[in-house]
Amino acid sequence: MLANFLIGLREGLEAGLIVAILAAYVVKIGRRDVLGRLWVGVGIAVAVSLGVGALLTWGPYALSDEGGELLGGILSLVAVAMVTWMIFWMGTHGASLSGELRGRVDAAIDRSWIAIVVLGAVSVGREGIETALFVWANVSSGSDPVQGTLGALLGILVAVALVWGISRGLVRINLSRFFTWTGVFLILVAAGVFAYAIHELQEVGVIPEFGGPAWDLSAVLSRDTWMGALLAGIFNFTPAPTWAQVIGWVAYVVVTLTLYLRLLHRRHTSTPAAAAPAATAPAEVPADAAPSRRESVAPSVRSA
């Protein structure tokens, strides 16, 4: 539940900040007439995300056991790839996100009314589909479906409340630090989903077994114990992993975490120390795009 809560919180906060930036900029340039189109696009994104979640939940029931395992393994790999891409994308584009979104709004307004709808749908839909796919993969790998879904919904609700508070200057949060540490945590969660994908693909013979389990901790740390259930729910822990799962988990964590930490180091060293107090947080509306406190998305938020 905790892992899905964090997924819902991070993705919901990112999507909410994107919507707030788009809405604030549209108001700033005096084009309130296109706000309705923007909300139509956001509504379409939400509907598509819910549809993807429903399809992932009920679709596999029509498949055989082998077909379900193969689909589960493939979609879990897709989920890991999407979340990994999301973590690195936010690490590289977070600081310039506001300017990029404002440029897209200008371009969409110049084209046609439908372009604003598409902009809202694409900007939010990506986050929604990522959330649906990753939550499904996490739940399918052993988490309780009800608790996992409730955790994700709770995270999204908390994200909505935070965005509302930030946009009105009621909440101060270091978004840069938040996205940095949740990125590290999600790498560990994604590693567990990656190991689950390997297991499913081994079940259908796509990946060879490579002998028996690497070890077996079922006697002391089975999923029936509170600690085993907690680790399984958060990190997809299994007490008797295969060697392929162990190698895959270690390789993913070492490679991804190393690249991510290098990205953070480059971002930190490339920012002059004197400019650090004035640096804007990811997804913040700059001062020139937010003349009033009510129209600003996060005028008081600073990044580390």
pLDDT tens for residues 182-200? 888 889 888 988 988 898 8
Q: Within 13 Å, how many C-alpha atoms sit on residue 43's CB side?
A: 7
Q: What share of the chain is helix, strand, coil (3-state, %, to 5)?
A: 80, 0, 20
- What phi and psi values does residue 213 have, to the nearest 5 degrees? -60, 150
Question: How far is residue 156 from each of residues 23, 109, 153, 159, 234, measured CA to CA in Å?
Answer: 19, 29, 5, 5, 17
- pTM score > 0.85 for this model? no
Determine the Cα angle at 282 with ends 277 and 287, to 5°: 65
Tell which phi-psi region holds residue 292, choosing left (phi > 0), alpha (psi between -120 and 50) or beta. Answer: beta
Question: What tens-digit pLDDT sequence spans the chain (304 residues)?
Answer: 667 787 888 888 888 888 888 888 888 888 888 888 888 998 998 898 888 877 777 666 556 667 777 888 888 898 889 889 888 888 777 666 777 778 888 888 777 768 888 888 887 888 888 888 878 777 776 656 677 778 888 988 998 898 888 877 777 777 778 888 888 888 988 898 898 889 889 888 888 877 778 888 887 877 677 677 767 766 778 888 889 999 999 999 999 999 999 998 887 787 554 343 333 344 444 333 333 433 444 433 333 3
In terms of Cα–Cα distance, which of 195, 179, 217 is closest to 138? 195
Q: Considering Cα of 185, then 187, then 191, then 196, what sign does the dihedral take?
A: positive
Structure tokens at 138: 């996490």
DSSP calls for 187-209: HHHHHHHHHHHHHHHHHTTSS--
